């Protein structure tokens, strides 16, 4: 059980008092689901080939090389399931506390867990578009074709041009609609809850201080120090899963009382 001076209890108290929470999630919420991050020394971007091919120009130059460079990651994402931290945000939404989730992750686990208002700043691997005609595609069946050896670069069912997942690649800007929606939500919140982000990737990392400037409180749960820690009302330096389980217990319905004898 958390002590009253425990940082986790301080963060839970902020959540309890808040009415309009925006959660901001980074790689830490997904690594606990078994998905590798991108920027650590062993992350996806530590591979120079990935840096080359996971770019807009790399995809245009050689879609097959793009899929070869990304299949390991996408196969891992396909097997991943939401964590306690994802479930915590769903529970807080059920209680009317969380108004929006802003995420830097492409795995779609927030939506899979049941969060209804998610701004995916870097897109999602679960859907895709034809690079020529723009037709919508669900990516899972296309990845299955690659795994079965039926294709090395899936083509559009309408025009046969290469299909690419709806993720933000190197050389590309964030999707305008997702960014504007996130900024608007942040401007209305009374608490911003950062979960598993080192806050080093911009412009997404600007959002916590936007919330503080608009009068919201800030709570950060992350293994490492962030540039926003000094502005936070609560900082939990530890594993996200441990905090999520403590918070889930705090916001779960009380068990029914035993029948009187």
State CA 23 to chain mean position distance: 10
* Residue 214, φ and ψ in degrees, nearest 5: -85, 0
Active-site residue list: 122
Q: Name the strands in the sheet holding 123-130, side by side, starting at the edge strand that comes first in the sequence.
A: 136-138, 123-130, 163-167
Could you tell me if 162 and 63 are in contact, meaning their C-beta atoms sit under 8 angstroms apart?
yes
């Amino acid at each position: 059980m958390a002590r009253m001076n425990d940082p986790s209890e301080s963060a839970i108290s902020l959540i309890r008092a808040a009415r309009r929470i925006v959660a901001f999630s980074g790689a830490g919420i997904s690594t606990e689901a078994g998905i590798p991050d991108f920027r650590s020394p062993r992350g996806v971007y530590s591979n120079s080939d990935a840096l080359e091919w996971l770019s807009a120009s790399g995809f245009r130059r050689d879609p097959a090389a793009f899929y070869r460079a990304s299949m390991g990651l996408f196969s891992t994402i396909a097997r991943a399931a939401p964590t306690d931290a994802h479930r915590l945000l769903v529970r807080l939404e059920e209680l009317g506390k969380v108004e929006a989730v802003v995420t830097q992750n492409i795995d779609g686990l927030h939506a899979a867990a049941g969060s209804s208002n998610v701004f995916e700043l870097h897109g999602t691997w679960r859907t895709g578009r034809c690079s020529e005609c723009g037709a919508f595609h669900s990516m899972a069946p296309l990845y299955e074709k690659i795994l079965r050896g039926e294709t090395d670069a899936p083509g559009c069912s309408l025009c046969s041009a290469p299909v690419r997942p709806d993720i933000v690649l190197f050389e590309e800007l964030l999707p305008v609609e997702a960014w504007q929606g996130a900024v608007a939500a942040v401007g209305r919140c009374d608490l911003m809850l950062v979960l598993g982000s080192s806050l080093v990737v911009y412009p997404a990392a600007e959002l916590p201080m936007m919330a503080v400037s608009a009068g919201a409180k800030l709570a950060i749960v992350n293994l490492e120090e962030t540039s926003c820690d000094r502005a936070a009302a609560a900082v939990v330096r530890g594993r996200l899963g441990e905090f999520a389980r403590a918070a889930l217990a705090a916001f779960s319905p009380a068990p029914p009382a035993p029948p009187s004898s």
